[in-house]
């Protein structure tokens, strides 16, 4: 029995790693659409079609619950998939919810009117597609008022991480943080709005400074998943755990092993 975790590439491994540590008795089937990564430069219709195809694949393999461990997919595809309907007994969830719960200090099911929150100035670092969707700002506005969100499109970072060029990734992060700070000189909090970015969390923190609270999604999503499975214990499905990719399995396996610092072996999807 396994929970499905989907990402356009390897960024979702940050969510998987946190989920495995939080839920050691749960198996996971990870699906990386490496052949089409990165999603952040694609249009919303293309992202939706790719995401829907991958999630359907995971459902067909026996995963009753699939986590979109990809902010771009969550922004461009999740709501539409839910509105169009999912198969009976299946669920698909995104990564925005736990993040906004943490930022606003209120549960997702709390439908009371938006209210003031402690953090007023938030920097959002995300892919071009996530930034253009304004999905994060839209969901946040339902729950909080008076929050100024300045979004910075971080072109090139995902490509550099996927290629294993961490020196380039670090340089790009610092450049994007500098660009953000020209628009918002003193952010109180920063959202790493792509699951690749926690791999560069230390660089983000150094560039932003010690007074900025950096929100990363792995642990937040893992804790939210633990709560969900406690409330829905039959959602583990019948799939077997493992790693699937639409890319070249050996290349993706090498990169994943490098990222998680443990042996990861992908199979062709």
Residue numbers annotated as active site: 70, 194
17 φ, ψ (degrees, to nearest 5): -60, -45
Rounded CA gap, 233 and 252, in Å? 32
Two tokens, residue 13? 């491994």
Contacts of 217 (CB under 8 A, 6+ apart): 14, 15, 71, 95, 98, 99, 192, 195, 198
CB distance 150 to 122 below 8 Å = yes
Tokens of 118: 């402690």
């Amino acid at each position: 029995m396994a929970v499905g975790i989907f990402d356009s590439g390897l960024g979702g491994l940050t969510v998987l790693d946190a989920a495995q540590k939080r839920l050691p008795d749960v198996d996971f089937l990870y699906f990386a659409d490496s052949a089409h990564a990165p999603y952040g430069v694609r249009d919303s219709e293309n992202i939706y079609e790719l995401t829907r195809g991958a999630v359907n694949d995971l459902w067909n393999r026996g995963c009753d619950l699939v986590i979109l461990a990809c902010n771009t997919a969550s922004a461009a595809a999740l709501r539409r998939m839910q509105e169009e309907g999912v198969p009976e007994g299946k669920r698909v969830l995104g990564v925005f919810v736990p993040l906004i719960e943490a930022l606003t200090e209120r549960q997702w099911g709390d439908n009371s009117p938006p209210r003031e929150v402690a953090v007023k100035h938030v920097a959002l670092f995300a892919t071009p597609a996530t930034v253009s969707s304004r999905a994060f700002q839209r969901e946040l506005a339902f729950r909080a008022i008076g929050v100024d969100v300045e979004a910075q499109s971080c072109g090139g970072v995902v490509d550099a991480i996927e290629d294993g060029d961490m020196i380039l990734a670090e340089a790009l992060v610092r450049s994007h943080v500098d660009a953000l700070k020209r628009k918002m000189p003193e952010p109180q909090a920063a959202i790493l709005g792509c699951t690749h970015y926690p791999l560069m969390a230390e660089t983000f923190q150094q560039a932003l400074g010690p007074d900025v609270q950096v929100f990363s999604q792995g642990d937040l999503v893992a804790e939210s998943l633990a709560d969900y499975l406690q409330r829905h214990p039959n959602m583990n499905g019948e799939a077997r755990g493992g790693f699937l990719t639409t890319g070249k399995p050996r290349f993706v396996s090498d990169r994943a092993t490098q990222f998680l610092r443990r042996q990861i072996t992908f199979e062709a999807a």
